Amino acid sequence: MVELVKSGIEGLDAMLFGGFPKGNQVMIGGGPGAGKTLMSFEYLYHGAKEGERGIFFALEEEPERVIQNIKAAFPNFGDIDELIGSGMITVHGKDLLQEIVNKYEQTGLEFGKVVAEMEETLVKSGASRAVVDSSAAFELLIKDPVVYRRSMWSLAANFRRLGVTAMLVSEIPDPDRKKLVFKTEHFIFDGMILLYQSGEESRRVYTLEIIKMRGYKHSFVTAPYDITPDGFSVMAPELITR
Ligand SMILES: Nc1ncnc2c1ncn2[C@@H]1O[C@H](COP(=O)(O)OP(=O)(O)OP(=O)(O)O)[C@@H](O)[C@H]1O
Ligand SMILES: [Mg+2]
């Protein structure tokens, strides 16, 4: 029996037939404003409510700003401050990555050191759920595609070894389903969820698809989603399996 970690997100757990396999590293990809940050935070939020600690690595933003945006989008999650205050959710901002970069400036920055430092921070927090937002910050640090791939692989492997179920945010330049181009990290992670934006004349349409979930079955349907004051609502249609 696969141990499952519920996302807690309405409709998504139905599409996952229960949740993420524990220890899976799930990439969440999408275009600007698709809801990647909000959805990955919501995953931590529901975990924290169930007594599972979560850690959010916002690699390119100030933590205060991230929290402010989340609270604005989800006004009915009234206990976010309490969960942060009690340490059930820890939010790290861009300062953490900057500190690591500065620390190794003289000796030469290797991505292995960045991963090790993030791992140490994660272990200290006692988290079993993690979010890394986003891999674009690493792309800026690592120009060599071979090193980048190896680095992303080691990040995923380290989190998996710790039994942490993580969501890793990836930016998709063209979030139209028909024009999708897969990037290197898409092959490394155990799972992949994509948020699409398709252009209608007068309205943008948002849909979600689970592309893969290693070691587990999942829905192959593409479902519309909405961001509501109570969190995401994924309109999981009649579920179809392979
Ligand atoms: N109060 C709100 N009510 C409804 N929708 C909101 C609200 N606040 C934000 N949103 C929606 O959420 C989107 C932002 O979500 P989020 O920050 O998670 O996107 P993202 O995919 O992480 O974007 P980026 O790539 O820019 O980081 C907004 O563009 C808007 O559509
Ligand atoms: Mg974001």
Query: Does the structural domain 4-234 have CATH classification 3.40.80.10?
Result: no
Nearest CA owner, ligand 1 atom 15: 35
Nearest atom (ligand 1) to Cα of 195:
21
Q: What pLDDT was estimated at residue 242?
A: 47
Rounded distance from Cα 35 to ligand 2 centre (Å): 7
Question: Which of 193, 208, 227, 232 for mutating ligand 1's site (highest number of atoms within 8 Å of CB)?
Answer: 227
Q: What pLDDT was estimated at residue 197?
A: 85
Q: What's the token pair of residue 140?
A: 């800026």
Low-confidence ranges of the chain (pLDDT < 70): 201, 238-242
Rounded distance from Cα 73 to ligand 2 centre (Å): 13
Nearest atom (ligand 1) to Cα of 134:
27
What residues are in contact with ligand 1 under a 6 Å CB criterion?
A: 30, 32-38, 69, 72-73, 171, 227
Question: Which of 27, 36, 71 for mutating ligand 1's site (highest number of atoms within 8 Å of CB)?
Answer: 36
Q: What pLDDT was estimated at residue 239?
A: 53
Q: Which burial class, exposed, middle or buried, applies to 141 when counting CB atoms under 10 A from its CB (0-12, 13-18, 19+)? A: middle
Nearest CA owner, ligand 1 atom 13: 33
Ligand number, closest to the Cα atom of 76: 1
Q: What pLDDT was estimated at residue 54?
A: 98
SS (H, E, C) the chain: CCCEECCCCECHHHHCCCCEECCCEEEEEECCCCCHHHHHHHHHHHHHHCCCCEEEEECCCCHHHHHHHHHHHCCCCCCHHHHHHCCCEEEECHHHHHHHHHHCCCCCCCHHHHHHHHHHHHHHHCCCEEEEECCHHHHHHCCCHHHHHHHHHHHHHHHHHCCCEEEEEEECCCCCHHHCCCCHHHHHCCEEEEEEEEECCCCEEEEEEEEEECCCCCCCCCEEEEEECCEEEECCCCCCCC
Q: What pLDDT was estimated at residue 238?
A: 54
- pTM (predicted TM-score): 0.94
